[in-house]
Structure 1
Amino acid sequence: MSRSTRATLALTAAGLTFDVVTYDYDPDADRIGMQAAEAIGASPSIVLKTLMAEVDGKPVCVVVPSDREVSMKKLAAAFGGKAANMMKPAMAEKATGFVVGGISPFGQKKAVPTVFEIEAMAHDRVYMNGGQRGLQVRLAPADAVKAAKAITAPVVA
């Protein structure tokens, strides 16, 4: 497994400090973020999952704790929109250049508006996908928001 991905290169280029953590990715897991949390021995509240959605038909990225679900109403509101829905996996892969299970908010093929769940900001360090299956990056949530040029908002149900 390569520890150098478009995501880790983007973090390095931004001058941020982060750790890389690898784990055995389970392609049959029902909930990828929860499986990652268990595999690395971290609380699901600090292992963030990266999801791709659409608000009023435009792509957005949403990052939330792996044990929480996105509220479509709150997601739409975070971007000043009326309606939100999850992006189909094939569209998410095409939009980001990453495969499902390896989608990161950093180094996406084309940057899209990104929101981090505000609850994630309460932690010293969080984990999120580093751009490939079985690879997590660990960093300060404020640094993650900065690197992704994201906003923070309450977006979980």
Structure 2
Amino acid sequence: MDTPITRYLQQEGIDFLLLPHHKPARTIQEAAAERGVEAHRLVKSILLRDMGGLHVLACVPGTRQVDPKKVRTLLNCRRMTCADAQDVEDVTGLTIGTVAPIGLKQPLPVIFDRSLCEYQTVNISSGNRMAGIELAMSDLVQLCEPRYGDICR
């Protein structure tokens, strides 16, 4: 499967495992079931924006929720909200549910919840609802150079 994310990983020489789905995943639970992995090992990537137009990608374990207030505090912003579907597509080049912290249309600040550091390998979206990608957490960190914080609800 050829997506901006798989092309980026190949270009960077990163080892990864493509995990094809039998049907499109619409939720974290469906994606985990299709990939045969635990949902908490999926990295959920949520695009947030502040009032001034700053966009950031907040990443948390699949079973957790991003707390925009905690991201706002971490970045010292006045207000931080989830981006709408059109904003997600315009900024990342991907649709909601297929966003990963790499292979984006434009560079974005990325924030990882500290709990992601517990994992040796993680699952991210391939940029397509019909497959996921498993890779080493160390490779993902190297590629997106995230900032860390306590950003879960």
TM-score when normalising by structure 2: 0.90
User: Secondary structure at the residue paired with 1:156?
Assistant: coil
Kindly state the Cα deviation for residue 77 of structure 1 after the two structures are TM-superposed. Answer: 2.6
What residue in structure 1 maps to residue 14 of structure 2?
16
Kindly state the Cα deviation for residue 150 of structure 1 after the two structures are TM-superposed. Answer: 1.8
Residues 78 and 139 of structure 1: is their aligned pair in 2 closer, same or farther, counting only changes over 3 Å? farther
User: Residue 74 of structure 2: which of 78, 83, 93 is its match?
Assistant: 78
Residues 148 and 25 of structure 1: is their aligned pair in 2 closer, same or farther, counting only changes over 3 Å? same
User: Secondary structure at the residue paired with 2:7?
Assistant: helix
Question: What do the CA deviations read for 1:14-70 (whole angstroms, capped 9, x no partner)?
Answer: 2221111111214xx4xx222211222211110111111113431111111111111
Matched, 1:42 2:37: yes
Distance across 1 between alignment mates of 2:36 and 2:152: 23
Kindly state the Cα deviation for residue 138 of structure 1 after the two structures are TM-superposed. Answer: 0.6
User: Residue 94 of structure 1: which of 90, 96, 117 is its match?
Assistant: 90
Distance across 1 between alignment mates of 2:147 and 2:10: 21
Q: Match for 1:13: what amino acid?
A: Q
Kindly state the Cα deviation for residue 112 of structure 1 after the two structures are TM-superposed. Answer: 0.8
Q: Match for 1:39: what amino acid?
A: E
What residue in structure 1 maps to residue 151 of structure 2?
155
User: Secondary structure at the residue paired with 2:89?
Assistant: helix
**How many positions carry a matched residue from both structures?**
151
What residue in structure 1 maps to residue 117 of structure 2?
121
When the two chains are superposed, the root-mean-square deviation of aligned CA atoms in Å is 1.6
Query: For structure 1, which runs of at least 5 residues remain unmatched after alignment?
Result: none
TM-score when normalising by structure 1: 0.87
User: Secondary structure at the residue paired with 2:60?
Assistant: strand
Query: For structure 2, which runs of at least 5 residues remain unmatched after alignment?
Result: none
